[in-house]
Amino acid sequence: MLNDTDKNLIALLRINARTPLTTLAKKLNVSRTTIQNRLERLESSGLITGYTVTLKPTTAQADVNALVFLSINGQHEEKLIERLRGYPNVLEIHGTNGRWDLVLNVRTDHLAALNDLLLTIRKLPAVLNTETTLLLASYKK
């Protein structure tokens, strides 16, 4: 169970995961050791699974960003998710309710690469149906 300090720490790390422990401690009014211990606990419990890099939009990066909605055979959901985690162009995997079972955030260098990725995903045994929406602009990340 997360307390308010844990939640606030995670919120600060989402903004900048490289913030020094002393800065985090000052912002949360706790000691540096407390921050270090909480981070170790959150990491060892599996709640924090890693850290990532966010590139400026002008930095060389993939040009095509899309959401891929998947309808799947639920009996194979875990295997499918594990397989999708191995695809470097699949940035995020979300479970959802309603018409679609999973939503993927994917990014590729160009439309042909997106098409190849979609063809690969559609061939996976657990995938029943897909729908893809290109993201044309991002207003907040």
Q: pTM of whole model > 0.85?
A: no
Structure-block tokens of residue 14 = 């989402």
Alpha-carbon distance 9 to 27, whole Å?
9
* Architecture of the structural domain at 4-44: Orthogonal Bundle (1.10)
Q: 3-state DSSP call for residue 121? A: helix
Domain chopping of the chain, boundaries:
4-44, 64-134
In the CATH hierarchy, which top-level class contains the domain 64-134? alpha beta
As separate numbers, helices (DSSP H) first and strands (DSSP E) second, the chain gives 5, 4
User: pLDDT at position 26, please?
Assistant: 95
Q: 4-44 with 64-134: one CATH topology?
A: no
Q: What is the pLDDT of residues 12-23, one digit of tens each?
A: 888 889 999 999
Q: Provide the residue-wise pLDDT of the chain in tens; the chain has 141 residues.
A: 789 899 889 888 888 899 999 999 999 999 999 999 999 999 999 888 888 777 665 555 558 999 999 999 988 999 999 999 999 899 999 999 999 999 999 999 899 999 999 999 999 999 999 999 999 988 887
